[in-house]
Amino acid sequence: MVGKGSARHNNRSFIAENVDGSRTRYNISYIDEPLKKVYHELFDEALAQYNARQKRRDRIIPDYYEKIRASHQEKLFHEIIMQIGDKDNMGSATENGELAKEVLDEYYKGFQQRNPFLRVYSAHIHMDEATPHIHIDFVPFTTGSKRGLDTRVSLKQALAAQGFEGGTRGNTEWAQWAESEKQALAEVLERYGIEWEQKGTHEKHLSVLDFKKQERAKELNAVEAQLAEKRNELHEVQLRLESADTAQEEISRIEFTLAHSPDYEVPDPPKLMSAKTYRERFVLPLVRRFKDLVRTVLISLVKAFDKIALLRGENEDLENENSRLEKELSRLEEKNDKLHKETRDNALLRMVFGDEYVDGLVSEAREKQQKSNEQKRKEKYYEEL
């Protein structure tokens, strides 16, 4: 499964509602490095070589991390989530859950060797949610590039270097690689005597009600994850707004310096000094210092105002998105509660009247509904003639 990647969720500095805090101690944290540190490690040397070759200042890249963060072509990192079974057959608090943990542990220990061009910087097994699963976050990179940096971010080229060339839209490098990782997990399962049942093959046997519950649960988890991510983004924007406030403080400091520093005062002319000499020795240097200071203040001011305007816009957008997601989460929780009630009612009816009688009523109701729908279609057809 593809993940969006939330460092605070994965390392548990942010605790979502579906997390059982009493079981967090059973999690495994393999690696949790700052993403910027990994970027420096992977790309600083190539960035310095690239910048040294540039003849034009506008081609120089001051910060490769920020360049990729603002890019629409590449992502800063990618995440894959691997899970074994579900809460019914591999629940985290069960013996099978412990077995799933061992399997995921062995699977992860071969991940970096299988994927030399995917630099893992965060990996965690979670045993404090319903089903054991592992989050693996990585930076894909390629070397020997003829364009741009010699070593640069590229998911497509990283996977190609590992033998995944891609094909049709549904058979991309990522799809091929993800299938390969599933096979690697299946091999570990086989060593533990567990048969891998392909996901989706059993869903046709689910009752309509169970299938709806399953789909609502998926939607609920997806919205919760998205909401957590947006909350993280909102927190980051608020931190950056604080940074913009710091820039304004710097401007105030410069104003104070201008008002009180002797460097910006015109000294009295010494005796017997000509006006020309006084101008060249004292006045002109002071004017130059003033010009430099004004230029610095203006640049800082423009940057600060631009940043504040941008961040306030982002802040407002994120608050609106958070509000929408909160409402969506509430709607899905109501649906979930309704489905749980329907399940209990269904079980009670079957216990009192028996499966055969209830199934007969359901079939009869379904036939009536189908006849009613057919009659409505006919009436609509004749109305349109």
- Of 167, 199, 231, the residue at which a domain comes to its end is 199
User: What is the total count of domains within the chain?
Assistant: 3
pLDDT of residue 199: 53
Pairing outcome for strands 28-32 and 118-126: antiparallel
> pLDDT for 236-278, tens place per residue?
665 555 555 555 566 666 666 656 666 655 566 666 666 667 6
pLDDT of residue 219: 61
Residues of the domain holding 365: 354-384
pLDDT of residue 200: 46
Of the candidates 4, 3, 1, 24, the residue with the CA atom closest to the CA atom of residue 230 = 4
pLDDT of residue 135: 92
**Structure tokens that stand for 270 in this block:** 């010494």
Q: Is the dihedral of CA 31, 35, 39, 40 positive or negative?
A: negative
Of the candidates 108, 125, 100, 86, the residue with the CA atom closest to the CA atom of residue 189 = 100
**Structure tokens that stand for 271 in this block:** 């005796």
β-strand partners of 29: 124
Are residue 346 and residue 359 in the same domain, yes or no? no
**Structure tokens that stand for 207 in this block:** 């009752």
pLDDT of residue 266: 57
- Of 199, 227, 246, the residue at which a domain comes to its end is 199
Are residue 143 and residue 174 in the same domain, yes or no? yes
**Collapsed DSSP state (helix, strand, coil) of residue 28:** strand
pLDDT of residue 207: 47
Mark the ranges of the chain whose per-residue pLDDT is less than 50: 1-15, 200-207
Are residue 190 and residue 315 in the same domain, yes or no? no
CATH number reported for the structural domain that contains residue 248 in this entry: 1.10.287
Are residue 278 and residue 140 in the same domain, yes or no? no
Question: What whole-number distance in Å separates Cα of residue 219 and Cα of residue 336?
Answer: 10
pLDDT of residue 263: 61
pLDDT of residue 166: 72
DSSP structural state of residue 251: H
pTM: 0.50
pLDDT of residue 65: 95
Question: What whole-number distance in Å separates Cα of residue 54 and Cα of residue 147?
Answer: 13
Are residue 106 and residue 213 in the same domain, yes or no? no
CATH number reported for the structural domain that contains residue 165 in this entry: 3.30.930
Are residue 138 and residue 257 in the same domain, yes or no? no
